[in-house]
A and B are shown apart, each in its own frame.
Chain A
């Protein structure tokens, strides 16, 4: 059993959330794409997702994810604040999806335990370029003018108390606490009630994050005129957190106070100005390198206007205050228009899948143990009325527990289906086609283990449909069809299976081409006229089969459809293909609701036990020798109600010793799968049983995959019964 230390648990939760966030993000990006703009609520949602992503990834130390998230957050912050009109929408969407893809790759790397070296600088540059130069211009305006330093306090209170005291405080914060400017602001905030006049340096702690650097270097200065005594001010200041050094000195009179303030403000302005000029110079170099002429021109003209622009010190302050007010009001707007989050209010807990698997195993063993008790040979022949009553009750409860555990493992197909939107979008773009995706029955649920095996086949089928099936828009119009093609994915429950249908209204399968290919590959067992459409079309599921002349990036290698059918069969399902020329193609996946427990009929051949899934059994009977014939190839056939069926002797196929070869001494079981029928001959029919499917040991599967056996199960008497894979047996003989 794996050792679960808390760091592993943290990482798992992180990965789980990461994948959820990525999915949410992609969904938001795609659903709004059609409208050609992003609504306020979409923008806010994306912003929130990026912020959360940034926070979590930075805690785990995943730099490249957090820096990308930060960049996207900035982008959406800009959009939120200024509206997105200045940005080219389709370019935005492309870049966003590129980001999503990057994140998906990083997520995969984390899951597999590889180190993250994803290069995101290209992407970061692209995002940065999206944000128009307006941003840059604002910085330019901030150069303060030397000459007119208006001596005005940052804030002051009207009431003048008794004796005024003047203080100068110099504060240094502890290293590495970050956002020193905000901490400084916090202190100023705490002083607001006691100050009559207050100044602080650096000045722009509110809107310039870089002031944090200055505070780190020089410390934070506060000049305050107040009625309070030294003690009080000292106490208020000391209450602030993470202060490394605090020097509070009292200044003797108003004149000296004014002098000191002026001195410090001037110095600070000087520093700030130098910094801004440095930055602008860097920006110019950057722009030159980026070769965007228009941007350069804009910038040059902005430079020129800034030289002539003289802002008063006071004016700069006002600017920053009004900017701040704008921020707050935009925040308020954001709150009022924000829609309710998608997640439902139900109580949901997330459970580790290993626990569910273990629970499933235990339920399986319970079913077996129950059978061993109730069908115990010790009880044969006894009259057990009370026992039987209790046994029935036990059966009932066990069945309920089984159902419940199955239900817990069920997961709706919606997430898988929704991923197809992205595929269609990409395919459309790459091939220049127009395709709409309609999803029906997405709430249909399937066992968690099975979901993983559906995703890839589904993707491939969708790609195939768009690539081979849906015609180019012009062609469709010529044919009188709607300009954009339609692909419908529909899921529904049918008995103990789930049926998933992928239907397109494209040009359908080309019978002639498939026939041709089948001939080339020597796959035709019947003549051209005899072979039905459905038999022919189902041939495309075989390996190496592809009628597409050119192999595209997406399809044409003949590997895909084969992979689809293998994957589906791996979970015990089946694939069938139907098509009508010019109208479209429909592919149906039949998948069992659950892997683990099936209804089966137990039979005996020789000394070996086998189980046939009940869903595959049409009927069973004692054969009449007169109905059994041999065909020229030596195959045994049986006539049933005028129809001829092939007989399969398991004894021969599986080389079972001690089996009966006399047809009059055994039982014939008519098995069916996908409308193909074969008759199995067995020695004895043992009875019906609900059977827990166990896979054959890996050790054996690794050396050879046994055709015709899909697994095994434990019988009530402790013996092992091999479960027959009817579809595989039928394929062997066709």
Chain B
């Protein structure tokens, strides 16, 4: 089973994503509620893929993405963003995010994005 690290400051979203992933056969490696602990957890847990919220306190998703990519060139990071944050998505792509999902997302799109990244 593929392991996923969920990084999002909204516990509501973490809960939703966790449920969705476990229902679709993924294992949850761990959760983090800000960018900084997200990076730490990545280094510690070495998940197969990370779902990363773009705006978070302490360290944003973009920063965290950068640090994770520096740590692991082949890291699979999928960004989660609410509509309308074009420039941030752009930045994320530039820094190596494999893909992004926009809220509100349909469950199958979310899962398919993850599956495709992991192919």
Q: Main SS of the interface on chain A? A: helix
A47 closest partner in B (C-beta): B55
Nearest CB in chain B: distance from A529 CB, A: 63
A331 within 8 A of B: yes
A522 within 8 A of B: no
A45 closest partner in B (C-beta): B57
Complex CA gap A206/B80 in Å reads 18
- Beyond A48-B57, A61-B104, A341-B58, whether A185 also contacts B109 by CB under 8 A is no
- Among listed A32-40, A174-182, A513-521, interface-contacting one: A174-182
- Cβ of A55 and Cβ of B93 under 8 Å apart? no
Interface residues of A in 36-52 (CB under 8 A from B): 45, 47-48, 51-52
- Cβ of A51 and Cβ of B87 under 8 Å apart? no
Chain A residues, CB < 8 A from B83: 54, 58, 70, 178-179
A270 within 8 A of B: no
A6 closest partner in B (C-beta): B19
Q: What range describes how many residues of B lie at the interface?
A: 35 or more
Interface residues of A in 650-689 (CB under 8 A from B): none
Chain A residues, CB < 8 A from B54: 51
Chain B residues, CB < 8 A from A189: 93-94
A14 within 8 A of B: yes
A706 within 8 A of B: no
| Binary A-proximity of B75-119 (CB < 8 A = 1, otherwise 0) | 000001111111111110110000110111110010011001100
- Beyond A186-B99, A241-B113, whether A335 also contacts B63 by CB under 8 A is yes
A328 closest partner in B (C-beta): B91
Q: What range describes how many residues of A lie at the interface?
A: 35 or more
A327 within 8 A of B: yes
Complex CA gap A536/B112 in Å reads 73
B85 closest partner in A (C-beta): A51
- When the two chains form the complex, which single residue of A10, A242, A341 contacts B15, counting CB atoms closer than 8 Å? A10
- When the two chains form the complex, which single residue of B58, B63, B89, B109 contacts A182, counting CB atoms closer than 8 Å? B89
Nearest CB in chain A: distance from B1 CB, A: 20
Complex CA gap A331/B109 in Å reads 29
A54 closest partner in B (C-beta): B82
Complex CA gap A52/B12 in Å reads 10
What are 21 A-B pairs at a CB distance below 8 A?
Answer: A48-B9, A48-B55, A51-B54, A51-B85, A52-B9, A55-B13, A59-B12, A70-B83, A74-B84, A177-B109, A179-B86, A182-B90, A182-B100, A189-B93, A241-B116, A328-B87, A328-B91, A335-B59, A338-B57, A340-B57, A343-B57
Given contacts A48-B56, A58-B103, A350-B11, 6 further A-B contacts (CB under 8 A): A51-B82, A58-B82, A58-B104, A179-B100, A182-B93, A242-B116
The residues of A with any CB-CB pair to B shorter than 8 Å are: 6, 9-10, 13-14, 17, 45, 47-48, 51-52, 54-56, 58-59, 61, 70, 73-74, 176-179, 181-182, 185-186, 189, 206-207, 209, 241-242, 324, 327-328, 331, 334-335, 338, 340-341, 343, 350
